[in-house]
Amino acid sequence: MNFVRKKGMAAMEAVEREGVPFLVFPRLSEIETVMHGFSTRFGGVSRGMFSSMNLSFARGDEEAGVRENFVRLGRAMGFSCEDLVFSDQTHTANIRVVTEADRGKGFTKQKDYTDVDGLVTNVPGVVLATFYADCVPLFLLDPIHRAIGLSHSGWKGTVGKIGKRTVEVMGRQYGTRPEDLTVAIGPSICQDCYEVSEDVIEQFRTAFNEESWKEIFYKKPDGKYQLNLWRANEFIFQEAGLNPEQIVTTDLCTCCNSELLFSHRASKGKRGNLGAFLMLKG
């Protein structure tokens, strides 16, 4: 797969198993107690604008095809769909503590929760799953206390500092300390592609120290701004107590690679969903 890559960022690798390609961070793959991955557009059965590995039941695709996509992806990554636990993303900074009772929610049984953009667990074999088409996936791994977190951070979640909130919830629930963590900022829209208006930037000015503004956004002659969600989330994790060397940031933009990854902005909303997956091994 020939991706357009961002120079100076941590390179992700494309892996293919059972005819299904997906993306991994080599740094996370070194942690043998976890399974992780991020899907691409390929290896599924969906058609048309959903082609082919669409992971959304809510965008008009055929349910049977989406279910088959999950089965194929699980076979490739190494998880069972019966173990999936889905987020319920509404651009909040809400985190759900996932227990054994949640196993299967979103795939084999109905979710009994709403407005959840982040998931944490210490239950082996439960597969956390969040979904994307330009927003930022955040992977959090604590191998010391055997706990993980996976959060969806669009611009609203970034303003709400969902990454920091995920760290805090893991600390309360599992004893996770910032120094125990390795975190990864996954494929999403890059600053070059992400134009936003003044009202969005005003919220970033409120949420972030002025010293960081020049690295998070810049103003163009037309009055619009280019926003860097990757850098903003790096600042958020550092605010939560992590050192820069604990943070791995993707080199892949969904919008730059819209033929290979779903991008809401590039497709003007005519698209499926990608998925991020994270599991503690038994």
DSSP the chain: ----B-TTSPPPEEEEETTEEEEE-HHHHT-TTEEEEEE-S-SS---GGG-S----SSSS--HHHHHHHHHHHHHHHT--GGGEEE-B-SS---EEE--GGGTTBTTTB-----SB-EEEE--TT-EEEEEESSSEEEEEEETTTTEEEEEEE-HHHHHTTHHHHHHHHHHHHH---GGG-EEEE-SB--TTT-EE-HHHHHHHHHHS-GGGHHHHEEE-TTS-EEE-HHHHHHHHHHHTT--GGGEEE-SBBTTTTTTTS--HHHHTT----EEEEEEE--
Distance (Å, whole) CA 31 – CA 20: 22
Of the pLDDT bands very low, low, confident and very high (cuts 50, 70, 90), residue 275 is very high
The domain total for the chain is 1
- Residue 31, pLDDT above cutoff 90: yes
- For residue 220, with 0-12 CB atoms within 10 Å meaning exposed, 13-18 middle and 19 or more buried, which class applies? exposed
Residue 48 reports pLDDT greater than 90: yes
On whether residue 19 sits in a domain, the answer given is: yes
- Whether residue 255 lies inside any domain: the answer is yes
Instruction: Report pLDDT for 35.
Output: 98
The CATH number given to whatever domain includes residue 99 is 3.60.140.10
pLDDT band at 208 (very low <50, low <70, confident <90, very high): very high
Tell me if 201 is assigned to some domain: no
83 occurs within a structural domain: yes
Asked if pLDDT for residue 157 goes beyond 90, the answer is: yes
Domain that holds residue 249: 13-189+241-280
Across residues 169-178, what is the average pLDDT?
A: 98
Residue 6 counted as domain residue: no
User: Is residue 231 domain-resident?
Assistant: no
Per-residue confidence (pLDDT) for residue 110, from 0 to 100: 98
pLDDT, position 227: 98
Q: Does 208 fall in a domain?
A: no
Q: For every residue of 198-244, which 3-state class applies, written as one string?
A: HHHHHHHHHHCCHHHHHHHEEECCCCCEEECHHHHHHHHHHHCCCCH
Report, as an integer, the average pLDDT of 118-140: 98
Tell me what percent of the residues of the chain surpass a pLDDT of 90: 99
Mean pLDDT of 59-68: 98
Domain assignment of residue 1, yes or no:
no
Contact 25, 12 (CB under 8 A): yes
Residue range 116-121: mean pLDDT, rounded = 98
pTM, to two decimals: 0.98
CA neighbours closer than 13 Å in the CB half-sphere of residue 4: 14
Mean local confidence (pLDDT), 271-282: 97
Return the structure tokens found at 154.
Answer: 């669009």
Task: Indicate the pLDDT class of residue 282, thresholds 50, 70 and 90.
Answer: confident
Q: What is the mean pLDDT of residues 71-82?
A: 98
